[in-house]
Amino acid sequence: MLPEQFLERMRCMLGEEYDIFLETFGQERRQALRLNPLKYDAEGRSAAQRYGTDSGSFAVLEKVPWAEDGYYYRGQDQPGKHPFHEAGLYYIQEPSAMAPVELMEVQPGERVLDLCAAPGGKSTQIAAKLKGRGLLVCNEIHPARAKILSENIERMGIGNACVINEAPERLVGLFSGFFDKVLVDAPCSGEGMFRKNQEACGEWSPENVRLCAQRQDGILDCAARMLKPGGRLVYSTCTFSLRENEGSVSRFLERNEDFQLMAIDKGRLGLEGCDGITAYFDEEKFLGGDAAGEVQEIEGNGAGAHMPGMENTLRLWPHRIRGEGHYAAVLRKKGNLPETCGNNDRIFTVERNAEAAWKEFCAFCRENLTCRIDLSRKTGESPGMEGAARYIVFGDNLYVLPEEMPSLKGLKVVRPGLHLGTLKKNRFQPSHALALALRPGSAARRWEFSDCSPDLVTYLGGGTFSGEGEKGWYLVCVEGFGIGWGKLAGGVMKNHYPKGLRKG
């Protein structure tokens, strides 16, 4: 049941397109995934390389035109239930939601902030473009969602990201002028997801639309302060509301004269005609309240009868593309990016009592890896470990930090970097994160499963199975891709797949 005030507003916004738009709510929505270019098999092929042209056994794929490594799949394929999902070969993501990161133009080695990051679709997409180099800071204000975000960062084998759980205002002092690129995928009224999420319909209200717009203003202002001169800020929502989309951008530009709106090359993305709205539309009369007062407020903040330049923003409509409703705008901070990275006085340089854990980790590497992994400089051995510079210990857990990681003292850190493992009774136990980030070719011993093996089902359920071979740690693989650890002793493979992830 769509809210009546929402329908009235959309009828006036869309005019003759309204009936076609309304029909989409009775149609099956399109589903998509992004193949992971950071996940490699034993032969050195990434999941994106291996399945981008040949879908193999897990799904029938069709390219999403605006997203690198993005593909539609059929509903009956159910890739979320395939073991490849647990191995991090892909991230299931709504196709329209893939567009904003493509607008960021992320380059390897940059510092990037995803300010409202959960559940992690856009963060993992950014990480793919960083190719294991540079720094990705993923922030989520809600603790439970931050945990889900952290789990997805781990599942996709990402080593150069940290996950924090803070309000945007808490980050500004530490990260002022720090980032090359910032994404604000803002919390919104969710109108674009009504077809996907029926609960969003019940949560919609005129008051929530206004509340979301106010919240977006504050988040954007925080993001602006954390961007370097010459840096790129991408703002996105999954709503149709003008107040939350072009209105938010217009108000931001009015408050921040050091920013300019950039034109989006929609032809390159195959999204011709998906322009933002330039003629002001009085949606307030459909939201109730004092319409005249609301309109005056908007006009006083840059959104008058016409909003010049807003055609350069991006509106994705479900009746025009194969995806849900989404909005995006690209903003550039005036000035030039510095030739060298600034703010080096804040870069983390102190190792925290990690000597014992580090010594045991080195012993583990000598016994169980075929190549030396130098965590002090870029080696190219594993995309999850390139560019790593320092290691720290939290409790008994050893982490390696991304390059140029700032000190996060005083902040709530969920995941400071790549979790290497845990020191237990003076012995090093490798982490699940390391299994997912490691290239299989780096493991001295591998145990291979086909994707339909009954023993793989046993393993993912937490069970042990019989095996013959040299005793020690094994990287358990499915079709050549690492999915977890096992330890062979006495003809039995002991299961080290995390209890919280086990099936059945």
| Residues that are catalytic | 238
CA 66 to chain CA mean position, Å: 17
Q: Which amino acid is at 263?
A: A
How would you classify residue 88: left for phi > 0, otherwise alpha for psi between -120 and 50, otherwise beta?
Answer: left
- The DSSP element (H or E) to which 237 belongs, if any, is strand 227-237
- Angle (CA) 3-4-9 rounded to 5° is 100
Are the C-beta atoms of residues 109 and 126 closer than 8 Å to each other? no
CB atoms within 10 A of CB 92: 13
In 10 A of CB 492, how many CB atoms? Answer: 13
**Range 194-211 burial, b when 16+ CB lie within 10 A, else e:** bbeeeebbeebebeebbe
Kindly state the tokens that stand for 431.
């982490």
CB-count burial class (<10 Å; 0-12, 13-18, 19+) for 463: middle
> What token pair was written down for 163?
């996950």
Cα distances from 173 to residues 110, 168, 169, in angstroms, run: 20, 10, 8
Pairing, β 326-333 against β 70-73? unpaired
Distance CA 418, CA 231 (A): 27
What 8-state DSSP symbol labels residue 499? G
Asked if 237 and 186 touch (Cβ cutoff 8 Å), the reply is yes
Note every long-range contact of 266-272, with CB atoms under 8 Å and residues 24 or more positions apart, other chains counting: 266/314, 269/65, 269/66, 269/99, 269/102, 270/65, 270/66, 271/65, 271/66, 271/99, 271/314, 271/316, 271/321
Which residue do the tokens 């991006």 mark?
314
What whole-number distance in Å separates Cα of residue 374 and Cα of residue 14? Answer: 57
Structure tokens at 351: 């190792």
Between CA 367 and CA 487 the distance in angstroms is: 13
| Distance between CA atoms of residues 267 and 66, nearest Å | 10
Positive or negative torsion for Cα 351, 357, 359, 362:
negative
